[in-house]
Structure 1
Amino acid sequence: MTIQQIIDDKSIKRLEKRNAIVEGILNRSFDFSAVSAACSFLPEKKIALLLEAIEEVSRSKEFSLEEDYLNLSERYILSSDPSCKREASRIVGNLAAAFPAKLDHAIAALLQNANDDGTVTRWASAYALSRIVILPQYAKGPLFEQICDLCEKETESGVRNQYGKALKKAERIR
């Protein structure tokens, strides 16, 4: 089955669909070109499921995704769909250490989402920014101060905690 067939199959539950896509990526049945092709045909609501699967793979210590996945996720950070925003942000956070020199566009979008009305979007942005700011070139740069400002004005404790923990780690690097 293709990614689009899996996602469109009404007889398969959502979790099973995600697991099938994760397994396809891990066993290389679905390479990046298959993932990218699926994104070009699917509506954003369904792309969110695909991004969710990619996010799960991006957390794996045994399997590394190529830079193309970072670039793909950047396209959805500012999506109109909150689920796409959340998963794309988490992918960027998970891949940040592998591609530290390729994060400029993602950082700009994440900073924009850090001021979103939705707590989930702000949390996902904080998740990614917190993983970026602990990288030496960002801990010692202007992003550190930007995150300090975000942390100070954040009212939601879960989001503020994401920033606070990362700022402590980044402070040791500075």
Structure 2
Amino acid sequence: MTIEEVFQDKTIKAKAKVSIIGDWLINKELPVDELIVYAEKQKAIDKATCIEALEYATKKNPEIADENTFLYVTQSLKNDEPRIKWESAKVIGNVAKLFPNELAKAIKNLLPNAESTGTVVRWATAYALAEILKLKTDNNKTLLSKIEKLSEKEEDNGVKKKYLDALKKVNK
């Protein structure tokens, strides 16, 4: 079965598509670059499913992401579609530790999403920013104060908790 066939098969539900493709990535039956090329040609809903499959796979095995993957999801944070934003942010959170020298651009693209009206976008963004903060890179010089301000303004407890947990770990 190919990616195309998975997406065309209407009997396969969205979550099943994610796990099928995600497992292919984990088992190296599908190169990540091939998934990205496919995703780029799709409408927003299928592109988001591709990125969600990437999130599923990187949660289990972050090492499947290479620099091209990281740059792709960093760029995808600017997409208008909320689901693409939140799935991309979750991938960044999963793999940030592998790309300590590439985080500045990701942070730049994440910060506007921290002010999104969508709670899920803000939660995923908080997850990614928190994971980056915990790495204690040079980015923390500016990121720390921004996360402190975001946590003060945030009204959703789930989103706020992501920030506060990271701040506790960093301030130990």
Q: 1:61 Cα shift?
A: 4.5
- Secondary structure of the residue aligned to 1:79 is coil
The answer as to 2:66 corresponding to 1:70 is: no
Change (3 A) 1:138 1:9: farther
What is residue 90 of structure 1 aligned with on the other side?
90
TM-score norm. by structure 2 comes to: 0.93
User: What does 1:10-159 correspond to in 2, within 5 Å?
Assistant: 10-61=10-61, 64-138=64-138, 140-159=140-159
Unmatched 5+ stretches in structure 1: none
Summarize deviations over 1:91-142 as a string: whole Å, max 9, x none: 0011111111111111011111001111111111101000001112157411
- Given that 2:32 and 2:65 are in contact with CA atoms closer than 8 Å, whether structure 1 keeps it comes out as no
Q: Which runs of 4+ in 1 moved over 3 A?
A: 61-64
Change (3 A) 1:91 1:144: same
- Secondary structure of the residue aligned to 2:101 is helix
AA aligned opposite 1:14: A
Unmatched 5+ stretches in structure 2: none
- Given that 1:113 and 1:125 are in contact with CA atoms closer than 8 Å, whether structure 2 keeps it comes out as yes
AA aligned opposite 1:97: K
- Given that 2:62 and 2:95 are in contact with CA atoms closer than 8 Å, whether structure 1 keeps it comes out as no
Summarize deviations over 1:41-82 as a string: whole Å, max 9, x none: 211111111111110111114853222221111121121111
What is residue 7 of structure 1 aligned with on the other side?
7
AA aligned opposite 1:56: Y
TM-score norm. by structure 1 comes to: 0.92
Q: Give the distance between the partners of 2:62 and 2:85, measured in 1 at CA.
A: 25
AA aligned opposite 1:44: A
Q: Give the distance between the partners of 1:25 and 1:106, measured in 2 at CA.
A: 23
Structure 1, 56-65 or 157-166: larger mean CA deviation: 56-65
AA aligned opposite 2:151: C
Q: Give the distance between the partners of 1:123 and 1:5, measured in 2 at CA.
A: 32
Q: Give the distance between the partners of 2:109 and 2:32, measured in 1 at CA.
A: 23
Q: Identity of aligned pairs, percent?
A: 32
Two-structure CA RMSD over aligned residues (Å): 1.6
Q: 1:8 Cα shift?
A: 2.4
Q: Give the distance between the partners of 1:128 and 1:62, measured in 2 at CA.
A: 14
Structure 1, 139-148 or 55-64: larger mean CA deviation: 55-64
Q: 1:11 Cα shift?
A: 2.3
